[in-house]
Structure 1
Amino acid sequence: MSSLAQKVGLGYELLRQSRFTEALELSREVAGAYPANPHALSFAAEASLANGNAESALEWIDQAIASSGDDPSLKLKKANLLSQLRRRPEVQALAAEITAAAENNGPLLQQVGHLYHRINMQPEAVAQFERAHALVGDSPELLYRMAVARFFSGDFEQAERDLDRLLTIAPQSGPALYLRATLRRQTPEHNHIEDIERRLKAGIGKLEHESSALYALAKELEDLGEYDRSFAALAAGAVKKRSLMKYDVQSEIASLRAIRDAYTSGAMDTPAPGHDEEGAIFIVGMPRTGTTLAERLLVQSGKVAAAGELLDFGNLLAASTQKVIDADPAQSQASASLQIDFAQLGRNYMCNARQAAEGSPWFIDKLPVNYLYCGMIRKALPKARIIHLVRDPLDSCYAVFKTLFFNSYSFSYDLDDLAEYYIAYRQMMRHWHTVMPGAILDVRYEDLVTDTETQARRIYEWCDLPWDPAVLDAPMDHKVFSTASAAQVREPVHSRSVNSSRRYAVHLAPLAAKLAAAGVIDA
């Protein structure tokens, strides 16, 4: 085997087989033999990245770009790499550069739109998707991505038109059916129930798409008050979704237990110089507990920016912890994390998050699962504010169960898994309140939607921010909410969802029994 194409082809096959070390060795050989060939250099970048050396990958891709004469597709690869490195300003600058050079390249514009979507620049994503659509016409992937970006941006009517077009050319697209159902509250006069049922009867095909279609049907039936039919569709969809994943809730619960065991009162009281910078507001809790409403109330003042649901803190924590474990492999993740440089973690996080928040003095990180890291946040960023949204346990579990999260919250597709996870979550939050008293503000969802001003004032006082009556206004049209609640959060505040789980008391009885046995709810 001597040709470049053969060697690069073998290299990518090694990467597909997760034989990363062999791929890296081959990439060095190929790049050495063909030092000015962009294909060889681009493969070297891929191999370096697969082996965890992102900086080396960046050097290789820069060489590939130079050798290619500024190939925009290679620049796009670099932009995606910079995104992984959380160097957001560089991503934005490069995306603009690629856009200017894309001209009439529809597929490239579509990829640029997806890049903007990933870094939560939804209006920019829509603009590039529209340019791509004008060039390449209707394609299911493009229409879906464009509809999602419009959904996050609040353009629900145009998103529905995109999805209707998509469903004429891809009638079995379950994700499109589900997104269309969530764009608005369905009514007896305006819904898609018969359409969804007809598609299901004709056969959806892929199990994942059938699951999504059933979630769509459940959502629309619930909107119309057909609760038994809704739950039947939901349960069927959840079974199909759960069958597609390998997930062990006990393994996840063990990780939570390990954190509690490591972050004792003594560990939290042990001095650790953190990064003494203000500005970060973490909104945490279970999903669908009002976290987006709390974010909206803060953003409405104009003094706080929404940075999105950032993965940065957890990723930076994991990277720092891995360095400790590399030096002492006998340690657990949780115990090793206590030995990291928390001040450096805080500095790195604030640098990345401020980029996402476009430099705003105050910003919100609304990733619910950051509740796992409350102790680490406290050590790394002692001046950060942590707000924990609390909701009625049954309502909280039902709200999670009825939501299709696609690639996250694997515990949400089985009532037994959900009960076990919820109990562990409650234990974790009780632990954080015990070992770091007074460091977390609990806000009850039910109070937030029934006495919004009082709770909003509590939140502003907690964050040491001046009160502004504009906080209570409806969201401005240009605000972006990149969350499954993007439609609901734009509505006037309402209490329709309070006690919503009680409509399904019979169906949720096994889950309620587990929660009662754990002392989470009354028997």
Structure 2
Amino acid sequence: MASSFGAAPPDSFERQVETGFRLLSQGRVVEAARLADALIASGTTDPQALLLGCEVRLAQGNPQAALHLISRAVDVAPGQVRLLLRKAHALALLRRRLDARNTAAEAVAVAGDDAQALVAAGRIYGSCDDPASARDVLLKVIEPGSSDPALLYDLAGAQFFTGDFAAAERNLDAVLRVAPQAGHAIYLRSTLRRQTPRDNHVADLESRLRAGFADPSARAACLYALAKELEDLSQDDRSFAVLSQAAALKRKTLRYDVRAECSTIDAIRSTYSTPAMHGVERPGSEGMGEDIVFIVGMPRTGTTLVERMLGRHSDVRSAGELPDFGEHLAAAVRGALAEKPGQTPVEASLSLDFESLGHAYLETARQAAPGSRVVVDKMPINFMYCGLIRKALPAARIVHLVRDPMDSCYAIYKTMFNQAYFFSYDLDELATYYATYRRIMAHWHAAMPGSILDVHYEDVVTDIETQARRIIDWCGLEWQSGVVEPSDNEAPSTTASAAQVRQAVYTTSVQKWRRHANGLEPLRMRLVDAGIVAK
């Protein structure tokens, strides 16, 4: 039988496919791409050759082309678990989350007891903000007494997000028996619940610190865990001293320039001036985005609490903290810069087709919360894009959470975030960023008055029904009394507040910063100088 290359030996085609995969494994993407392109150009329908083409396109950062090729492979060879998983992966990269989850489910259905495939499916579910499905798949793989720290940590994370804190703690203990320096597991374990004098990990954490850590990030995580547990035990002075050590060490592990980030936010503010915001309504756009609610603000200001309130409404479903608006915006800006180089990204954004941007966002946001009349996007840092959101989605509702500046900054400072909010690890940088945030929010209110609803955290926790009625009315929804019981929301929460939001609404975090007033005085003075807090 002739191969796709004429008179070559019958096994030549298979050897070339194998060569392509070997080149990819060696990082020789250009050579692998040349070979894959030749195989595909031959008109082949061989699923392995199409899979090779998919992997090449993924390595080149082109998930759309990868999806096209892997979909052809699945059509030719339906029911092959490896092909289904790669298709699900490409869909997830394209933020087609519902399609990715459905394809992952197809893979699970044919995977049998293939542990490797089930783990891969679980991670796809996790990347699509579906921790319940990730948990269920991992439970099929992980045997009682398992000692695989990576799998146990993934399972514990899914259990944390779905509210099974006791099981998560057991699995994290198992992780730490095998991997005693796993800083991420140490920190998560301490955040699962409020520690008590009779039940805490303080001695264990101190012992781990004395033993030492090879990785500074892991040591910082252990220090954050200890600071959190000491605060739970009302050892405030010691807690803040440990927290300061943790933050300083964490900051040393990062390459970050707060001035550059704040300069970009200030550029957005000056570019999207009041005149630039005139005429955001386009013909036919009056209802565009009316099914989207953006919850914005600084992190740790009650954004998750309000999200959980809204999620109790029968017409509402939360999509979680979607990066989608910023990612669609960045992609559109890259296109604009390619057509007209020499501009800054913010300048280039002014010429975007905002209607197309809005449609692109809606397509992926709706996939994140399918079957719901109203979708909540709770990405806090969308605060910097409020004006651009208004241009792209004129009918979208924007709810802005406001919290006492000192409480807000302290809550941010004491949290170890996962690859986000790098300004949070230094009090001076935190003050700089917070002042920048306040400036742009004041600008949005001035430039598009009446477009943003401010909701104060302190008002929510002291009079939840009044604030819930304001929010429900703002979102154009009918009143439902269940929204005042956010702790009854059984949906997963994939945020740092996953444990707190399952408790009844409490007021004990109001003015909590005062317990650490001495340590926070440099921050307070920076905010005084910025005119944000009274002297």
- For the aligned pair, the TM-score class normalised by the smaller chain equals over 0.9
1:9 aligned residue (1, 10, 22): 22
| Equivalent residue, structure 2, for 1:283 | 295
Of 121-130 and 337-346, deviating more is 337-346
Given that residues 122 and 153 in structure 1 are in contact (C-alpha distance below 8 angstroms), is that contact kept between their aligned partners in structure 2? yes
SS in 2 for 1:441: strand
How far off its partner does 1:432 sit? 0.6
Output the amino acid matched with 1:391: R
SS in 2 for 1:73: helix
| Equivalent residue, structure 2, for 1:501 | 513
How far off its partner does 1:235 sit? 1.5
How far off its partner does 1:135 sit? 8.9
How far off its partner does 1:221 sit? 0.5
SS in 2 for 1:501: helix
Once residues 278 and 533 of structure 2 are traced to their aligned partners in structure 1, the CA distance between those partners, rounded to angstroms, is 32
Given that residues 304 and 362 in structure 1 are in contact (C-alpha distance below 8 angstroms), is that contact kept between their aligned partners in structure 2? yes
Query: Aligned residue pairs: how many?
Result: 518
| Equivalent residue, structure 2, for 1:165 | 174
Output the amino acid matched with 2:309: L
Output the amino acid matched with 1:180: R
How far off its partner does 1:97 sit? 0.7
1:466 aligned residue (478, 481, 485): 478
Given that residues 390 and 443 in structure 1 are in contact (C-alpha distance below 8 angstroms), is that contact kept between their aligned partners in structure 2? yes
Gaps of 5+ in 2: 1-14
2:314 aligned residue (293, 298, 302): 302
Given that residues 326 and 382 in structure 2 are in contact (C-alpha distance below 8 angstroms), is that contact kept between their aligned partners in structure 1? yes
1:107 aligned residue (93, 109, 116): 116
Once residues 172 and 408 of structure 2 are traced to their aligned partners in structure 1, the CA distance between those partners, rounded to angstroms, is 29
Of 310-319 and 62-71, deviating more is 62-71
Output the amino acid matched with 2:147: D
| Equivalent residue, structure 1, for 2:3 | none
Once residues 286 and 201 of structure 1 are traced to their aligned partners in structure 2, the CA distance between those partners, rounded to angstroms, is 35
Once residues 378 and 300 of structure 1 are traced to their aligned partners in structure 2, the CA distance between those partners, rounded to angstroms, is 26
1:416 aligned residue (428, 450, 467): 428
2:388 aligned residue (376, 382, 392): 376
How far off its partner does 1:405 sit? 0.7
Of 229-238 and 122-131, deviating more is 229-238
Q: 1:332 to 1:270 in 2, by over 3 A?
A: farther
Under a length normalisation based on structure 1, what TM-score does the superposition of the two structures give? 0.93
SS in 1 for 2:153: helix
Gaps of 5+ in 1: none
| Equivalent residue, structure 2, for 1:91 | 100
How far off its partner does 1:132 sit? 1.1
Once residues 70 and 136 of structure 1 are traced to their aligned partners in structure 2, the CA distance between those partners, rounded to angstroms, is 32
Once residues 220 and 181 of structure 2 are traced to their aligned partners in structure 1, the CA distance between those partners, rounded to angstroms, is 11
Once residues 38 and 255 of structure 2 are traced to their aligned partners in structure 1, the CA distance between those partners, rounded to angstroms, is 38
Once residues 21 and 132 of structure 2 are traced to their aligned partners in structure 1, the CA distance between those partners, rounded to angstroms, is 37
Once residues 132 and 315 of structure 1 are traced to their aligned partners in structure 2, the CA distance between those partners, rounded to angstroms, is 34
| Equivalent residue, structure 2, for 1:366 | 378
1:325-404 alignment runs, 5 A limit: 325-404=337-416
Given that residues 8 and 40 in structure 1 are in contact (C-alpha distance below 8 angstroms), is that contact kept between their aligned partners in structure 2? no
Once residues 532 and 39 of structure 2 are traced to their aligned partners in structure 1, the CA distance between those partners, rounded to angstroms, is 60
Given that residues 79 and 110 in structure 2 are in contact (C-alpha distance below 8 angstroms), is that contact kept between their aligned partners in structure 1? no
Per-residue CA distance 1:204-263 (angstroms, 9 max, x = gap): 322211111111111111101111111122111112211211111111111101111210
| Equivalent residue, structure 2, for 1:145 | 154
How far off its partner does 1:140 sit? 0.7
| Equivalent residue, structure 1, for 2:129 | 120
Once residues 200 and 315 of structure 1 are traced to their aligned partners in structure 2, the CA distance between those partners, rounded to angstroms, is 39
Output the amino acid matched with 2:307: E
SS in 2 for 1:189: coil
How far off its partner does 1:276 sit? 2.5
* RMSD over equivalenced CA pairs, Å: 2.2
Once residues 403 and 277 of structure 2 are traced to their aligned partners in structure 1, the CA distance between those partners, rounded to angstroms, is 27
1:254 aligned residue (243, 246, 263): 263
Given that residues 272 and 342 in structure 1 are in contact (C-alpha distance below 8 angstroms), is that contact kept between their aligned partners in structure 2? no
| Equivalent residue, structure 1, for 2:230 | 221
2:213 aligned residue (204, 207, 215): 204
Of 110-119 and 44-53, deviating more is 44-53
Output the amino acid matched with 2:295: I
How far off its partner does 1:522 sit? 1.8
| Equivalent residue, structure 2, for 1:270 | 279
Per-residue CA distance 1:146-205 (angstroms, 9 max, x = gap): 111111111111111111121221122111111111111111111111111111111232
Is 1:57 equivalent to 2:70 in the alignment?
no
Q: 1:136 to 1:97 in 2, by over 3 A?
A: farther
Once residues 510 and 413 of structure 2 are traced to their aligned partners in structure 1, the CA distance between those partners, rounded to angstroms, is 16
Q: 1:11 to 1:32 in 2, by over 3 A?
A: farther
Q: 1:7 to 1:121 in 2, by over 3 A?
A: closer
Aligned residues with identical type, % of pairs: 46
SS in 2 for 1:205: coil
2:242 aligned residue (210, 230, 233): 233
Once residues 27 and 439 of structure 2 are traced to their aligned partners in structure 1, the CA distance between those partners, rounded to angstroms, is 44
Q: 1:281 to 1:69 in 2, by over 3 A?
A: closer
1:485 aligned residue (476, 497, 500): 497
Given that residues 280 and 390 in structure 2 are in contact (C-alpha distance below 8 angstroms), is that contact kept between their aligned partners in structure 1? no
Output the amino acid matched with 1:500: K
